[in-house]
Structure 1
Amino acid sequence: MDHSHNHGHSPSELSGRNLVISIFLNIIITIAQVIGGLLSGSLALLSDALHNFSDVLSLLISYIANRFSKKEASLKKTFGYKRAEILAAFINAVTLIIVAVLLIIEAIKRFQNPQIIDSNLVIWLAIIAILGNGFSVLLLKKDAKSNMNMKSAYLHLITDMMASVAVLIGGLLMKYYQMFWVDSVLTLAIAIYLIVVGYDLLKNSYKVLMLFTPDTIEIDDIVNVVQQIEVIKNVHHVHIWQLNEDEIHLEAHIDFNEDIQLSQFNEVLHEVEALVYKKFGINHLNLQPEFGKNDTKDIIVQD
């Protein structure tokens, strides 16, 4: 059995410094909003504070996962901590949904018992939150394009910035039109948006953790392409999974038409390696060569 690697483009170096800055900004925003929410009586402001607190937790998880993902592999951890960031994304997605459910419960209670709110305090604290989260969003935007963990942190921040914009609009409506019911409406809107964003991230990270074949890859297409190589008779017992943001793994049994030499297999291995990387983006390959072996030739075999 031969195990071949083709890493392609090296993964971008993630900025732990930017995460740390975002963490401190969100701690400050959270404290300010909790105090302001209690003083003003605004549920929307308190819900935004709760969301900001979840941001602090998610950013801490992302930072720790980012650090762990760079640790070296060992005899007991042969993959190292390469999946740490995927696990962090999954946890962050779960927290988004939990926070959303809590906000919905509180918004329903407030509908039943509306209160007068100090709109001036709501407006100023919303502006502070928009500026702080907006700066954090800019810090993480680049890495969020290529890393699921950073995307989860980025989504937490951008949804909170949007929530703060909604709170600001609500504060203005309460100040000039005495529409205090809008506080509960905004809370519900924030919560629903959190569920939508959180579910998408939860689904994607769950698929990676469960070793599902990436959505962009069709196993039948890979098998058909590889079997076009003249010396290959059959491709079966195929497994394809995504280890993290940068690695897609393929392992398979290759049935040859004739009893080839090991040097010939190496040539075929390099050909298959180049083929699946170019066409499907698979950069880790593990092939088991076979000749005349009496085993199941199905593409998918339940181990």
Structure 2
Amino acid sequence: MGHSHSHNHSHHHDLNSRNLLISIFLNIAITVAQVIGGIVSGSLALLSDALHNFSDVISLIISWIANKLVKKKASLKRTFGYKRAEILAAFINAATLIVVAVLLIIEAIERFRNPQEIESNLVIWLSIIAILGNGFSVLLLKKNADDNMNLKSAYLHLLTDMLASVAVLIGGLLMKYYEIWWIDSVLTLAIAVYLVVMGWDLLKNSFKVLMLFTPDSTSVKSIVEDIQTIDAVKNVHHVHIWQLNEEEIHLEAHIDFKEDITLSQFDVILNSIEELIYHKYDINHINIQPEYGKCDAKDVIVQD
């Protein structure tokens, strides 16, 4: 038996899908311009920024596909539908951030050993174009990035790329006016380190959701203690709590009752549990197995 507090998110998904699509086309244009500019100017920072922009395009496409999939209805073969598509997209995108960062570090070290003169004017103008394009994309996704891992992964790709372009611009100015050619490699390293820092946190959080770990903000001990304050409840055991996606946290548990209560009495108690758990812990899907005098393991966590 369970209870669900659901809301209509179709408008948000449509808006997010449109914003993602706009960002995809913007980043394709930026990537093409930076690749050409990086080859012509000889700037590794510009080429690395182009590589990151290309990863943005891939991540945005993945996010857009996931955003479309989550709207598909559940079926007999897919009882949860595609509700985890956005979490999977976030995990993939976070992983690509770190992979790109490692590649940038390798290239930066190689270029640092052999610094080259760079056409700084082209670097400056292309970095300005990238800042404006990515800045607009960041604004499009910022509103919903805090509430959705998928959008946050796309947002982080764009934000880090915008900051990378700012670093490239600074490097271009330093090369133009002071001929500090090694700054190109230093900035590439700085961009890479920043990517690792930003990507790791998102990778870790999306991994926890995919592995069905208990959400960090949820205390199993407190939930069990609260349910056991209900008079008819003797014991709460065999507890599982997991996050399905950004909007749903599920709880299932076995409850041992003090007396052999009727089904109607259980429904009244279940309603109390649902209201308590939803309002205090924001858990919106609950499945309780009632028991009386059953000989099974009574530990809170039971290894299945």
Q: Above 0.5 in TM-score?
A: yes
Aligned to 1:189: 190
Deviating 4+ runs (over 3 angstroms): 9-12
Q: Does 2:57 match 1:53?
A: no
The AA in structure 2 aligned to 1:223 is V
SS of the equivalent of 1:66 reads: helix
- Give the distance between the partners of 1:4 and 1:146, measured in 2 at CA: 22
- For the 8 Å contact 1:236–1:297, the answer to whether it is kept is yes
- Give the distance between the partners of 2:93 and 2:303, measured in 1 at CA: 32
- Give the distance between the partners of 1:182 and 1:5, measured in 2 at CA: 55
Q: Does 2:160 match 1:159?
A: yes
SS of the equivalent of 2:181 reads: coil
Aligned to 2:78: 77
- Give the distance between the partners of 1:296 and 1:261, measured in 2 at CA: 23
Q: Report the CA distance between 1:10 and its aligned residue.
A: 4.5
- Give the distance between the partners of 1:92 and 1:49, measured in 2 at CA: 16
Q: Report the CA distance between 1:143 and its aligned residue.
A: 1.5
- Give the distance between the partners of 1:164 and 1:111, measured in 2 at CA: 19
Aligned to 1:108: 109
Q: Report the CA distance between 1:191 and its aligned residue.
A: 0.3
The AA in structure 1 aligned to 2:27 is N
Give me the TM-score of the superposition, normalised by structure 2: 0.98
Aligned to 2:144: 143
Q: Report the CA distance between 1:130 and its aligned residue.
A: 0.2
Aligned to 2:281: 280
The AA in structure 1 aligned to 2:149 is M
- Give the distance between the partners of 1:263 and 1:151, measured in 2 at CA: 44
- Give the share of equivalent positions with the same residue, in percent: 73
Aligned to 1:233: 234
Q: What per-residue deviation string (whole Å, max 9, x for no partner) do you get for residues 233-285 of structure 1? A: 00000000000000000000011010111011111111000000111110000
- Give the distance between the partners of 2:138 and 2:254, measured in 1 at CA: 46
Equivalenced residue count is 301
Q: Does 2:200 match 1:218?
A: no
SS of the equivalent of 1:278 reads: helix
- Give the distance between the partners of 1:108 and 1:157, measured in 2 at CA: 24
- Give the distance between the partners of 2:17 and 2:283, measured in 1 at CA: 28
- Give the distance between the partners of 1:17 and 1:278, measured in 2 at CA: 33
Q: Report the CA distance between 1:6 and its aligned residue.
A: 2.5
Q: What per-residue deviation string (whole Å, max 9, x for no partner) do you get for residues 120-149 of structure 1? A: 000000000000000000001111121100
Aligned to 2:12: 13
Aligned to 1:31: 32
User: Unaligned stretches of 5+ in structure 2?
Assistant: none
SS of the equivalent of 2:251 reads: strand
- Give the distance between the partners of 1:173 and 1:279, measured in 2 at CA: 55
- Give the distance between the partners of 1:10 and 1:217, measured in 2 at CA: 24
The AA in structure 2 aligned to 1:4 is H
Aligned to 2:3: 4
- Give the distance between the partners of 2:206 and 2:56, measured in 1 at CA: 18
The AA in structure 2 aligned to 1:124 is W
Aligned to 2:97: 96
Q: What per-residue deviation string (whole Å, max 9, x for no partner) do you get for residues 49-98 of structure 1? A: 00000000000000000000110000000000000000000000110000
CA RMSD of aligned residues (A): 0.8
- For the 8 Å contact 1:55–1:156, the answer to whether it is kept is yes
- Give the distance between the partners of 2:138 and 2:104, measured in 1 at CA: 23
The AA in structure 2 aligned to 1:184 is S
- For the 8 Å contact 1:6–1:273, the answer to whether it is kept is no
- Give the distance between the partners of 1:256 and 1:250, measured in 2 at CA: 18
